Structure 1
Amino acid sequence: MKISSSKSKPKHKSTYKSILKKVTLSISVAFTISAALITLPAHAEIGEPEKEDLKFGFIKLTDMAPLAIAYEKGYFEDEGLYVKLEAQANWKVLLDGVIDGQLDGAHMLAGQPLAATIGFGTKAHIVTPFSMDLNGNGITVSNAVWEEMKKHVEYKDEKPVHPISAAALKPVVESYKDKGKAFKMGMVFPVSTHNYELRYWLAAGGLSPGYYAPSKGDIKGQLQADVQLSVTPPPQMPATMEAGTIDGYCVGEPWNQQAVFKGIGVPVITDYEIWKDNPEKVFGMTDEFTKKYPNTTARIVKAMIRAAKWLDEDNNKNRMEAVKILAKPNYVGADVDVIANSMTGTFEYEKGDKREVPDFNVFFRYNATYPYYSDAIWYLTQMRRWGQIDEKKPDSWYTDMAKKVYKPELYKVAALELIAEGKISKEEFPDFATETGFKPAQNEFIDGLTYDGSKPNDYIESFKIGLKGDDKG
Structure 2
Amino acid sequence: MKGVTSLLAGLAVSLSAMHSTIAAEPEKDELKFGFIKLTDMAPLAIALEKGFFEDEGLYVELEAQANWKVLLDRVITGELDGAHMLAGQPLGATIGFGTQADIITAFSMDLNGNGITVSNAIWSEMKKNIPHENGKPVHPIKADALKPVVEKYKADGKPFNMGMVFPVSTHNYELRYWLAAGGINPGYYAPAKNDTSGHIDADVILSVTPPPQMPATMEAGTIYGYCVGEPWNQQAVFKGIGVPVITDYEIWKNNPEKVFGVSKAWADKYPETHIAVVKSLIRAAKWLDDNNNANRPEAVEILSKPYYVGADYDVIANSMTGTFEYEKGDKRDIPDFNVFFRYNATYPYYSDAIWYLTQMRRWGQIAEHKPDSWYMDTAKKVYRPDIYRKAADELIADGKMTAADFPTAAETGFKPVQKEFIDGIAYDGRKPNEYLQKFSIGLKADSKL
TM range (shorter): over 0.9
**Corresponding residue for 1:11?**
none
**Corresponding residue for 1:70?**
47
Distance 1:470 1:400 in 2: 19
- Aligned pairs for 1:28-427 within 5 A: 43-427=20-404
Distance 1:223 1:371 in 2: 33
Q: Offset of 1:420 from its aligned partner?
A: 1.1
**Corresponding residue for 1:12?**
none
- Conserved 8 A contact 1:165-1:205: yes
- Conserved 8 A contact 1:43-1:413: no
Distance 1:281 1:184 in 2: 25
Deviation digits for residues 163-205 of structure 1 (CA, Å, limit 9, x no counterpart): 0000000000011111110001000000000000000000000
Distance 2:354 2:313 in 1: 36
RMSD: 1.4
Name the SS of the counterpart of 1:63 in structure 2: helix
**Corresponding residue for 2:435?**
459
- Conserved 8 A contact 1:131-1:281: yes
Deviation digits for residues 50-98 of structure 1 (CA, Å, limit 9, x no counterpart): 0011000000000000000000001101111010100000000000000
| Aligned partner letter, 1:146 | W
Q: Offset of 1:117 from its aligned partner?
A: 0.4
Q: Normalising by the residue count of structure 1, what TM-score does the alignment of the two structures yield?
A: 0.91
Unaligned runs of 5+ residues in structure 1 are 1-31
Name the SS of the counterpart of 1:458 in structure 2: helix
| Aligned partner letter, 1:261 | F
Distance 1:460 1:163 in 2: 24
Comparing 380-389 and 463-472, the one that deviates more: 463-472
Q: Normalising by the residue count of structure 2, what TM-score does the alignment of the two structures yield?
A: 0.96
Unaligned runs of 5+ residues in structure 2 are 1-9
- Conserved 8 A contact 2:163-2:208: yes
- Conserved 8 A contact 2:74-2:80: yes
Q: Offset of 1:45 from its aligned partner?
A: 1.9
> In percent, how many aligned pairs have the same letter?
75
Matched residue pairs, number? 438
**Corresponding residue for 2:4?**
none
- Conserved 8 A contact 1:41-1:416: no
Name the SS of the counterpart of 1:366 in structure 2: helix
- Conserved 8 A contact 1:43-1:416: no
Q: Offset of 1:44 from its aligned partner?
A: 3.2
| Aligned partner letter, 1:451 | Y
Q: Offset of 1:36 from its aligned partner?
A: 6.0
**Corresponding residue for 1:10?**
none
Distance 2:446 2:394 in 1: 46
Distance 1:315 1:185 in 2: 35
List 4+ stretches of structure 1 deviating above 4 A. none
Distance 1:41 1:224 in 2: 59
Distance 1:98 1:105 in 2: 6
Distance 2:301 2:36 in 1: 17
**Corresponding residue for 1:5?**
none
- Conserved 8 A contact 2:22-2:397: no
